[in-house]
Amino acid sequence: MALSKKMCAAINSQITAENESAYIYKAMGYKFEAMNLTVFAKWFHIQAAEEQAHAEKFARYILDRGSEVTLETIKAPKGKWKTPKEICSETLKHEEYITERINKLVDLAREERDHSTDSFLIWFVNEQIEEEASAAELLAMVELAGTLPQIFLLEDRLLRMIGEREQQPAE
Ligand SMILES: [Fe+2]
Ligand SMILES: [Fe+2]
């Protein structure tokens, strides 16, 4: 069964939201590079690549359902962050916003009794649990560290976390 026009438009708009997330995380990565916090930067660049993979997953799904992908305009990131804490707290807020969007997609799929889309979206529902948890962990670490020299020392721990993540099997 083909996707409804409404469902297709909603998923297309989620592709934009995922690409926008990638764009925001790239901007955050560059900001961390400017602060010489290169491991934080790496974390955000990896995060950006994951968001692009999410966009791709949604695009593949639309194509698999015999509909068409429409790419929309991506907003420029505001990028006025001054501290690591500001970046990390915006990241958590952004992930909560994405979770809210995914939940609305599930609501729509259920309204339309579109079980295929409902089932497809479960992966994202679960992914958002992880995304929020890792954003919350990063913010907690930065808050705990407090000052910039302490945040600099956090980079070692973050590097180990990146290593552990990379060892996990790919989805
Ligand atoms: Fe995402
Ligand atoms: Fe995310």
As a CATH number, domain 5-70+79-167 is: 1.20.1260.10
Dist. CA 82–CA 32, nearest whole Å: 10
pLDDT at 100 over 90: yes
When pLDDT is cut at 50, 70 and 90, the band that residue 168 belongs to is confident
Give Cα separations from 143 to 59, 119, 136 (angstroms): 37, 37, 10
pLDDT at 8 over 80: yes
- Amino acid sitting at position 42: K
Q: pLDDT (tens digit, 9 = 90+) per residue, 28-81?
A: 999 999 999 999 999 999 999 999 999 999 999 999 999 999 999 999 998 789
The percent of residues in the chain predicted with pLDDT above 90, rounded, is 84
Q: Kindly identify the ligand whose nearest atom is closest to the C-alpha of 94.
A: 2
Helices (H), the chain: 5-34, 38-64, 84-111, 115-145, 148-167
pLDDT at 165: 80
Q: Kindly identify the ligand whose nearest atom is closest to the C-alpha of 19.
A: 1
Q: pLDDT (tens digit, 9 = 90+) per residue, 117-143?
A: 999 999 999 999 999 999 999 999 999
* Cα-to-centroid distance, 51 and ligand 2 (Å): 6
Q: Span 94-112, mean pLDDT?
A: 98
- Under DSSP, the state recorded for 114 is -
* Cα-to-centroid distance, 83 and ligand 2 (Å): 20
pLDDT at 170: 59
Dist. CA 113–CA 110, nearest whole Å: 5
When pLDDT is cut at 50, 70 and 90, the band that residue 166 belongs to is confident
Dist. CA 21–CA 98, nearest whole Å: 9
* Cα-to-centroid distance, 171 and ligand 2 (Å): 15
pLDDT at 22: 98
Report the interhelical angle of 115-145 vs 38-64 (nearest 10°): 170
Radius of gyration in angstroms for the set of CA atoms belonging to the chain, rounded to a whole number? 17
pLDDT at 71: 96
* Cα-to-centroid distance, 81 and ligand 1 (Å): 21
Say how many residues make up the chain. 171
Residues 6+ apart with CB under 8 A from 76: 23
Q: Kindly identify the ligand whose nearest atom is closest to the C-alpha of 124.
A: 1
* Cα-to-centroid distance, 18 and ligand 1 (Å): 5
The tally of CA atoms less than 13 A away on the side-chain side of residue 42 is 14
- Give residue limits of the domains in the chain: 5-70+79-167
Instruction: Find how far residue 77's CA is from the centre of its chain.
Output: 14
Burial of 30 (0-12, 13-18, 19+ CB in 10 A): middle
Dist. CA 14–CA 33, nearest whole Å: 28
If you average pLDDT over every residue of the chain, what do you get?
95
Q: Span 161-170, mean pLDDT?
A: 80
* Cα-to-centroid distance, 149 and ligand 1 (Å): 31
Specify the higher pLDDT residue, 163 or 98: 98
pLDDT at 85 over 70: yes
Q: Kindly identify the ligand whose nearest atom is closest to the C-alpha of 135.
A: 2
